[in-house]
């Protein structure tokens, strides 16, 4: 009898030194279904997928394809079995065309070694028609939208006749409208008999598109449910292990005078000739959280670089607390009351090979509390300071102050940065995606800290890509699209749909500074 399952991972256990990443996990993917894999960061989703792709070998458990036990030693084995994946970060060659990217690695070649692109093009066009994947085969990747890049990735899998399609957090980079399109594409694929594994921690999407859902928590298998039979609250409780308050508790804002004012900011782009930020103007007042929302790559990063001094402005000015800091150095901005929780904590926020205590003084090491007159570090003071912050902000690490920052978990690394930045008693806090990659508990904690800053009469500028965060945390939303601020919204009055239209550039108003 033919097995109803396309792929089965039975009782998979994978251990790493000190932790069990996958503890007796079972995942059965039926043919033609959309199966969601739900779990927080660190729940073991990536490990499980790496086992499926042969990047890791499980210590226990078996993998079956169409009911037969298979051994997957490396990604080539996985490919041969028809397993394909759209990674969160696309694996595309930017300066190649869509078609070149699709056929890369499996190019149809004639007897003389010439490429047979015509054949390939016909196959790609046929596939894109069949599944409703709208792409231009001759456009270069660098010129097309993120949505189209993702469709290229999907076509890559289809071109290779993959039967099992894995989508790793596919919606993180898309607008709400593009998300709807993707959902439709996934349904089409399933209807054509493809089996889809959809990795996500976004409950609404899972409820909307998946037939069944397997939940992992802290490396353990929690269960598999039919999405029809459960509510979103039940799923979330399964994922987190407790009832989570999704809503951020906060009192109404009582904004005071303006702390940060940006006028006509223009920042050049590093990757193309256009400006990354175009003539952006806004104000942030005491006692309010202002959020800059937008799809990734619409100039938010460059706006922050300009604001914090990492990149120079080509035009415009920045006023902090009445003082013009447009030309001020990074250090000057930092000492005049600007704190910055950077977007990439590994790249900018921490020196990973330094101890935790050395990271705690990264921006203040030159102050007399930490360096004596001759230039020697005051190690005792540094230790005391670090111990104090660790306790105050509940930063957990293996050996306290002397722990290497590299060995700490992402959440605690982030807490350390927050401790350092908030301890400076900033007038304005620039927090860029402060909850990226963190679990629900850490997110709750960070949101509370942001609100506490606000309530203490400080200004907070939040830059976020997460729609839930954008809707929940701030008092005002500014939407950025292609380097411009295209709208100001009140989170209490707007809807996700309206926000999405602004983010996609479909709607805009003239925003006054």
Which one among 1, 2, 17, 273 touches another protein, defined by CB under 8 A?
17
DSSP labels, 285-313: ETT-EEEEE--TTSSHHHHHHHHHTSS--
Closer of 137 and 342 to another protein (Cβ): 342
- Fill in the DSSP letter of residue 74: S
Q: How far apart are CA 48 and CA 35, in angstroms?
A: 14
x/- site string to another protein, residues 372 to 401, per CB under 8 A? ---xxx-x----------------------
Maximum Cα–Cα distance for the chain, whole Å? Answer: 82
User: Which residues, 6 or more positions from 411, have their beta carbon under 8 angstroms from its beta carbon?
Assistant: 438, 439, 441, 442
Stretch that binds another protein, among 26-34, 334-342, 391-399, 456-464 (CB under 8 A): 334-342
Stretch of 120-128, 228-236, 354-362, 432-440 contacting another protein, by CB under 8 A: 354-362
Closer residue to another protein in complex, CB, 3/363: 363
Query: How do 315-320 and 323-324 pair as beta strands?
Result: antiparallel
Give the list of residues 6+ apart from residue 512 with CB closer than 8 angstroms, or none: none
Stretch that binds another protein, among 153-161, 260-268, 368-376, 485-493 (CB under 8 A): 368-376
Residue selected from 5, 90, 246, 354 as contacting another protein according to rule CB under 8 A = 354
Cβ-in-10-Å burial (0-12, 13-18, 19+) of 509 comes to exposed
CB of 405 vs another protein, minimal distance in Å = 10
Interaction between residue 306 and another protein (CB under 8 A):
no
Please name every residue paired with 64 in a beta bridge, in sequence order, or none if there are none: 8, 69
Which two structure tokens, joined as six digits, stand for 167? 């989508």
Among 42, 84, 342, 434, binds another protein (CB under 8 A): 342
CB neighbour class for 48 (10 Å; exposed up to 12, middle 13-18, buried from 19): buried
Per CB under 8 A, does 113 bind another protein? no
Q: Please, are residues 456 and 484 in contact by the beta-carbon 8 Å criterion?
A: no
The Cα 283–Cα 229 span in angstroms is: 47
Any idea what DSSP says for residue 141?
G
Determine, following the binding rule CB under 8 A, whether residue 351 of this chain makes contact with another protein: yes
Place of tokens 């594994």: 197
362 touches another protein (CB under 8 A):
yes
C-beta closer to another protein: residue 109 or 377: 377
In the complex, the smallest distance separating the C-beta of residue 349 from another protein, rounded to whole angstroms, is 7
Q: Does 436 bind another protein (CB under 8 A)?
A: no
**Only segment of 13-21, 77-85, 98-106, 453-461 that touches another protein (CB under 8 A):** 13-21
Phi, psi of 406 (to 5 degrees): -60, -30
Q: Mark 204-243 with x for binding to another protein (rule: CB under 8 A) and - for no binding.
A: ----------------------------------------
Selected range binding another protein among 122-130, 228-236, 259-267, 347-355, rule: CB under 8 A: 347-355
Residue 222 Cβ, how far from another protein at the closest point, in Å? Answer: 23
Of 4-12, 243-251, 316-324, 332-340: span binding another protein (CB under 8 A): 332-340
Q: Is 119 in the site for another protein (CB under 8 A)?
A: no
Query: Which one of 5, 90, 96, 365 is in contact with another protein (CB under 8 A)?
Result: 365
Q: Is 285 exposed, middle or buried (0-12, 13-18, 19+ CB in 10 A)?
A: buried
* 352 lines the binding site for another protein (CB under 8 A): yes
Closest contact distance (angstroms) between CB of 416 and another protein is 13
Q: Which of 4, 16, 495, 509 binds another protein (CB under 8 A)?
A: 16
Stretch that binds another protein, among 161-169, 251-259, 323-331, 456-464 (CB under 8 A): 323-331
> 371 is written with which tokens?
């360096």
What would the two tokens of residue 306 be?
A: 């300009």
- Nearest approach in angstroms of CB 391 to another protein is 23
Task: Return the DSSP state at 358.
Answer: H
Closest CA to 214 of 393, 459, 48: 48
Distances (CA, A) of 325 to 154, 238, 316, 321, 361: 47, 49, 11, 9, 23
Residues within window 161-200 making contact with another protein, judged by CB under 8 A: none
Residue 90 to residue 149: CA distance in whole angstroms:
8
Residue 329 C-beta: closest distance to another protein, Å: 7
Count residues binding another protein (CB under 8 A). Answer: 34
Stretch that binds another protein, among 30-38, 122-130, 344-352, 471-479 (CB under 8 A): 344-352
Tokens describing residue 93: 């060659």
Q: Is 15 in the site for another protein (CB under 8 A)?
A: yes
Token pair recorded at residue 122: 């016909």
Binding site for another protein (CB under 8 A): 15-18, 59, 308, 310, 329-334, 340, 342, 347-354, 358, 362-363, 365-366, 370-371, 375-377, 379
């Amino acid at each position: 009898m033919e097995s109803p399952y396309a792929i089965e991972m039975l009782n998979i256990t994978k251990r790493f030194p000190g932790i069990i990443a996958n503890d007796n996990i079972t995942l059965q993917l039926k043919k033609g279904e959309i199966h969601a894999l739900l779990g927080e960061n660190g729940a073991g989703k990536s490990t499980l997928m790496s086992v499926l792709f042969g990047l890791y070998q499980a210590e226990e458990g078996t993998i079956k394809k169409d009911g037969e036990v298979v051994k997957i030693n490396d990604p080539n084995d996985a490919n041969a079995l028809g397993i394909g994946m759209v990674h969160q970060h696309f694996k595309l060659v930017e300066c190649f065309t869509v078609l070149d990217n699709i056929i890369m690695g499996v190019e149809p070649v004639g007897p003389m070694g010439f490429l047979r692109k015509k054949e390939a093009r016909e196959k790609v066009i046929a596939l894109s028609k069949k599944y409703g994947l709208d792409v231009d085969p001759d456009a270069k990747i660098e010129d097309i939208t993120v949505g189209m890049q993702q469709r290229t990735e999907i076509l890559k899998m289809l071109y290779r006749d993959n039967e099992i399609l894995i989508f790793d957090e596919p919606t993180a980079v898309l607008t709400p409208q593009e998300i709807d399109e993707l959902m439709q594409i996934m349904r089409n694929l399933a209807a054509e008999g493809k089996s889809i594994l959809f990795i996500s921690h976004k409950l609404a999407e899972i409820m909307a598109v998946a037939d069944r859902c397997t939940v992992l928590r802290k490396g353990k298998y929690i269960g598999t449910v039919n999405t029809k039979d459960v509510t979103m609250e039940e799923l979330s409780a399964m994922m987190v292990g407790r009832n989570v308050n999704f809503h951020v508790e906060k009192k109404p804002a009582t904004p005071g005078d303006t702390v940060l004012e940006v006028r006509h900011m223009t920042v050049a782009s590093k990757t193309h000739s256009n400006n990354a930020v175009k003539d952006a103007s806004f104000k942030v007042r005491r006692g309010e959280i202002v959020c800059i929302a937008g799809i990734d790559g619409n100039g938010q990063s460059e706006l922050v670089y300009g604001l914090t001094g990492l990149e120079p402005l080509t035009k415009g000015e920045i006023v902090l607390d009445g003082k013009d800091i447009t030309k001020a150095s990074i250090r000057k901005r930092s000492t005049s009351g600007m704190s910055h929780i950077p977007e990439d904590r590994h790249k900018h926020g921490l020196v990973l090979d330094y101890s935790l205590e050395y990271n705690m003084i990264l921006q203040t090491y030159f102050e007399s509390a930490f360096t004596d007159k001759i230039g020697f570090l005051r190690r005792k003071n540094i230790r005391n300071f670090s111990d104090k912050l660790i306790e105050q902000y509940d930063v957990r690490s293996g050996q306290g102050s002397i722990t290497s920052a590299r060995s700490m978990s992402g959440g605690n690394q982030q807490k350390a940065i927050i401790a350092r930045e908030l301890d400076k008693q900033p007038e304005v806090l620039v927090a860029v995606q402060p909850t990226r990659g963190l679990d629900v508990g850490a997110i709750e904690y960070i949101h509370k800290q942001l609100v506490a800053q606000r309530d203490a009469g400080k200004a907070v500028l939040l830059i976020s890509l997460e729609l839930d965060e954008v809707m929940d945390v701030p008092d005002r939303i500014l939407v950025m699209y292609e380097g411009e601020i295209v709208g100001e919204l009140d989170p209490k009055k707007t809807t996700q749909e309206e926000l999405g239209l602004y983010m996609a550039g479909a709607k805009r108003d003239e925003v006054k500074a």
